[in-house]
Amino acid sequence: MIEIKDIYKTYSLGQIEVKALDGVSLKISSGEFVAIMGASGSGKSTLMHILGLLDRPDTGSYFLGDREITRLTDETLAALRNRVMGFVFQQFHLLPRMTALENAELPLIYAGKRHLAEKARQEIAGVGLQDRLRHRPSELSGGQQQRAAIARALVNDPLIILADEPTGNLDSKSKEEIISILKNLNQKGKTLIIVTHEKEVAMHARRVIQMRDGRIISDQRMDQERMLSEVVALEDGLLDTILAKPRKAAGQTKFLDYLRQAVSAMLSHKMRSLLSILGILIGVASVIAMLALGQGAKESIEKQVASLGSNLLLIRPGSTRSQGVALQAGTVTRFTFSDLAAISKLTDEVVRAYPSVTGRGQIVHADKNWNTQVEGVGVPYAQMRAAIPAAGRFFNEQEVRLREKVALLGMTVARELFGDANPVGETIKINLVNFRVIGVLPEKGASAFRDQDDIVIIPVTTAMYRVLGRQYIDSIFVEAKAPELLQPAQEAISALIRKEHRLDEDDNDSFQIRNMADIKNTLEATTKTMSLLLGSIAAISLLVGGIGIMNIMLVSVTERTREIGLRKAIGANNRDILAQFLIESVLMALIGGLSGIFLGGGVSLLINIFAGWAVRVSPFSVALAAIFSLVIGVAFGIWPAHKASRLDPIEALRYE
In the set 45, 76, 210, 574, which binds Mg ion (CB under 5 A)?
45
Q: Does 585 bind Mg ion (CB under 5 A)?
A: no
CA distances from 245 to 39, 129, 502 (A): 41, 34, 95
**Cα–Cα distance, 452 to 446 (Å, whole number):** 6
Instruction: Work out how close the CB of 113 gets to ligand ADP at its nearest, in angstroms, rounded to a whole number.
Output: 32
CA distances from 583 to 144, 255, 345, 474, 647 (A): 32, 9, 75, 64, 19
Give me the 12-41 binding string for ligand ADP, x by CB under 6 A, dash otherwise.
-x----x-x-----------------x-xx
The interface partner of residue 573, options being Mg ion, ligand ADP, none and the CB cut-off 5 to 8 Å by kind, is none
Q: Looking at the DSSP assignment, which residues form a beta bridge with residue 537?
A: none
Distant-in-sequence, close-in-space partners of 14: CB < 8 Å, separation ≥ 6: none
3-state secondary structure 311-339: CEEEEEECCCCCCCCCCCCCCCCCECHHH
Amino acid symbol at 547:
I
> Which residue lies nearer to ligand ADP by CB, 40 or 328?
40
The interface partner of residue 86, options being ligand ADP, Mg ion, none and the CB cut-off 5 to 8 Å by kind, is none
436: helix, strand or coil? strand
Between residue 539 and residue 568, which ones bind ligand ADP under the rule CB under 6 A?
A: none
- Nearest C-alpha neighbor of 343 from the set 226, 198, 490: 490
Instruction: Work out how close the CB of 218 gets to ligand ADP at its nearest, in angstroms, rounded to a whole number.
Output: 15
**Cα–Cα distance, 353 to 313 (Å, whole number):** 9
Instruction: Work out how close the CB of 90 gets to ligand ADP at its nearest, in angstroms, rounded to a whole number.
Output: 9
The site for ligand ADP, by CB under 6 A, has a size of: 13
From 38-46, 78-86, 295-303, 386-394, give the range in contact with Mg ion by CB under 5 A.
38-46
> Which residue lies nearer to ligand ADP by CB, 44 or 83?
44
By the 10 Å C-beta count (0-12 exposed, 13-18 middle, 19+ buried), 153 is classed as buried
**Cα–Cα distance, 489 to 347 (Å, whole number):** 10
Instruction: Work out how close the CB of 254 gets to ligand ADP at its nearest, in angstroms, rounded to a whole number.
Output: 32
The interface partner of residue 20, options being ligand ADP, Mg ion, none and the CB cut-off 5 to 8 Å by kind, is ligand ADP
**Cα–Cα distance, 70 to 38 (Å, whole number):** 26
> Which residue lies nearer to ligand ADP by CB, 199 or 401?
199
> Which residue lies nearer to ligand ADP by CB, 11 or 255?
11
Instruction: Work out how close the CB of 44 gets to Mg ion at its nearest, in angstroms, rounded to a whole number.
Output: 5
> Which residue lies nearer to ligand ADP by CB, 66 or 656?
656
Instruction: Work out how close the CB of 97 gets to Mg ion at its nearest, in angstroms, rounded to a whole number.
Output: 27
Between residue 508 and residue 567, which ones bind Mg ion under the rule CB under 5 A?
A: none
Distant-in-sequence, close-in-space partners of 50: CB < 8 Å, separation ≥ 6: 4, 7, 9, 21, 56, 57, 62
3-state secondary structure 368-398: EEEEEEEEEECCCHHHHCCCCCCEECCCCHH
Between residue 208 and residue 227, which ones bind ligand ADP under the rule CB under 6 A?
A: none
Residue number with the shortest CB distance to Mg ion? Answer: 45
> Which residue lies nearer to ligand ADP by CB, 83 or 568?
568
**Cα–Cα distance, 82 to 101 (Å, whole number):** 17
The site for Mg ion, by CB under 5 A, has a size of: 1
Instruction: Work out how close the CB of 2 gets to ligand ADP at its nearest, in angstroms, rounded to a whole number.
Output: 18
Q: Looking at the DSSP assignment, which residues form a beta bridge with residue 377?
A: 356, 459
> Which residue lies nearer to Mg ion by CB, 45 or 645?
45
**Cα–Cα distance, 82 to 77 (Å, whole number):** 8
> Which residue lies nearer to ligand ADP by CB, 91 or 383?
91
Instruction: Work out how close the CB of 59 gets to ligand ADP at its nearest, in angstroms, rounded to a whole number.
Output: 16
- Nearest C-alpha neighbor of 436 from the set 469, 406, 413, 463: 406
**Cα–Cα distance, 641 to 575 (Å, whole number):** 10
Alpha carbon dihedral 202, 207, 208, 209, in 10-degree steps, equals: -150
CA distances from 641 to 148, 269, 557, 636 (A): 28, 17, 7, 9
From 44-52, 146-154, 316-324, 621-629, give the range in contact with Mg ion by CB under 5 A.
44-52
**Cα–Cα distance, 492 to 349 (Å, whole number):** 8
**Cα–Cα distance, 364 to 295 (Å, whole number):** 35
> Which residue lies nearer to Mg ion by CB, 39 or 233?
39
> Which residue lies nearer to Mg ion by CB, 168 or 612?
168
Between residue 39 and residue 58, which ones bind ligand ADP under the rule CB under 6 A?
A: 40-46
Instruction: Work out how close the CB of 42 gets to Mg ion at its nearest, in angstroms, rounded to a whole number.
Output: 9
The interface partner of residue 46, options being Mg ion, ligand ADP, none and the CB cut-off 5 to 8 Å by kind, is ligand ADP
The interface partner of residue 432, options being Mg ion, ligand ADP, none and the CB cut-off 5 to 8 Å by kind, is none
> Which residue lies nearer to ligand ADP by CB, 3 or 22?
22
> Which residue lies nearer to ligand ADP by CB, 41 or 612?
41
Site residues, Mg ion (CB under 5 A): 45
Site residues, ligand ADP (CB under 6 A): 11, 13, 18, 20, 38, 40-46, 654
